[in-house]
């Protein structure tokens, strides 16, 4: 199966209010499931926004299933209740450290894989509160090999090329990307899709937190750099049907991977 339906949940995220954000996300995910979505993507740190000063109060251990509880457990329960593959990033507690961690839960509510943000964004003080992830994350979802990245990772093409070389045909990226860098966001999404000949599904939040405004513009970009769906600056559910065979056809038409000369790079 290479064809599936994906929905990006472009939502506002209320600062430091996980219970309120979870209640709203649950309604959005239920509507995405009603639309027949197979994979639903929420933004980066959607349950708390950038309330990193209170990471100790908000973070919970990564849960393998709903029964393990905590915020990740509730996220797993959301996937199970709606019978969808579900992802987005939350604050993870691991010992005495905190991580910005993207989990993918399967329709049975069990953990498929997780990725902790490798590149921490100093302009939003992530490095002061969070530990960086130490590994990439690829997973063979039912429709194809999928790579995970978060927000600022988009500025590091090496990560995306590594995913493509390792077989990724889709890369999913939740974000909190603010004004005034909307042009960067839109350009980089298309660049990563075109140069790696893969789909990019990027879910950015909207709304204003502590004087910072987030512009949305969540999008699904195909391997040719064409936009399948793109949001504006208000809350929206953005749904697209994706056929990953397009990746294979694109790579056959312009064989950039066969023409690489890494020994000279």
Instruction: Kindly tell me if the per-residue pLDDT of 7 is higher than 80.
Output: yes
Looking at 44, 92, 126, 230, which residue is catalytic? 44
> If we measure between CA atoms, which residue out of 68, 85, 17 comes closest to residue 47?
17
Instruction: Kindly tell me if the per-residue pLDDT of 1 is higher than 80.
Output: no
Looking at 151, 176, 203, 230, which residue is catalytic? 151
Q: Average pLDDT, stretch 232-260?
A: 97
- State how many domains the chain has: 1
Q: Does the active-site annotation cover 151?
A: yes
* Mean pLDDT estimate for the chain: 97
Domain with residue 220: its CATH number is 3.60.110.10
Region of residue 144 (left: phi > 0; alpha: psi -120 to 50; beta: else): left
**Residues 9-33: pLDDT tens digits?**
999 999 999 999 999 999 999 999 9
Per the structure block, which two tokens stand in for 206? 């909207």
- For residues 80 and 53, the answer to whether their CB atoms sit within 8 Å is no
**Residues 49-93: pLDDT tens digits?**
999 999 999 999 999 999 999 999 999 999 999 999 999 999 999
Confidence of residue 202 (pLDDT cuts 50, 70, 90): very high
Q: What is the pTM of this model?
A: 0.97
Domain hosting residue 51, numbered range: 3-264
Looking at 117, 126, 145, 176, which residue is catalytic? 117
Confidence of residue 142 (pLDDT cuts 50, 70, 90): very high
Instruction: Kindly tell me if the per-residue pLDDT of 129 is higher than 80.
Output: yes
- In the chain, % of residues over pLDDT 90: 98
Confidence of residue 153 (pLDDT cuts 50, 70, 90): very high
Confidence of residue 211 (pLDDT cuts 50, 70, 90): very high
Region of residue 183 (left: phi > 0; alpha: psi -120 to 50; beta: else): alpha
Q: Does the active-site annotation cover 117?
A: yes
Positive or negative: CA dihedral 239, 225, 144, 78: negative
């Amino acid at each position: 199966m290479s064809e599936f339906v994906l929905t990006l949940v472009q939502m506002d995220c209320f600062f430091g209010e996980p219970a309120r954000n979870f209640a709203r996300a649950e309604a959005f995910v239920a509507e995405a499931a009603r639309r027949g979505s197979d994979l639903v993507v929420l933004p980066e740190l959607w349950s708390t926004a950038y309330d990193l000063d209170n990471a100790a109060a908000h973070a919970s251990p990564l849960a393998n299933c709903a029964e393990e509880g905590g915020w990740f457990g509730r996220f797993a329960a959301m996937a199970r209740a709606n019978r969808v593959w579900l992802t987005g990033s939350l604050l993870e507690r691991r010992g005495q450290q905190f991580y910005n961690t993207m989990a993918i839960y399967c329709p049975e509510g069990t953990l498929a894989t997780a990725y902790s943000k490798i590149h921490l964004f100093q302009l939003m003080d992530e490095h002061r509160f969070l530990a960086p992830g130490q590994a990439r994350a690829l997973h063979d979802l039912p429709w194809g090999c999928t790579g995970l990245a978060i927000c600022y990772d988009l500025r590091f093409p090496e990560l995306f090329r590594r995913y493509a070389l390792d077989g990724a045909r889709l890369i999913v990226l939740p974000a909190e990307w603010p004004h005034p860098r909307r042009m960067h966001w839109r350009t980089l999404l298309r660049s990563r899709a075109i140069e790696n000949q893969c789909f990019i599904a990027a879910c950015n939040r909207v709304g204003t937190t502590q004087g910072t405004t987030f512009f949305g513009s969540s999008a699904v970009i195909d391997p040719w750099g064409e936009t399948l769906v793109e949001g504006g600056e208000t809350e929206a559910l953005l749904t697209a049907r994706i056929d990953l065979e397009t990746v294979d056809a694109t790579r056959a038409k312009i064989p950039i991977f066969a023409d690489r000369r890494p020994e000279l790079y």
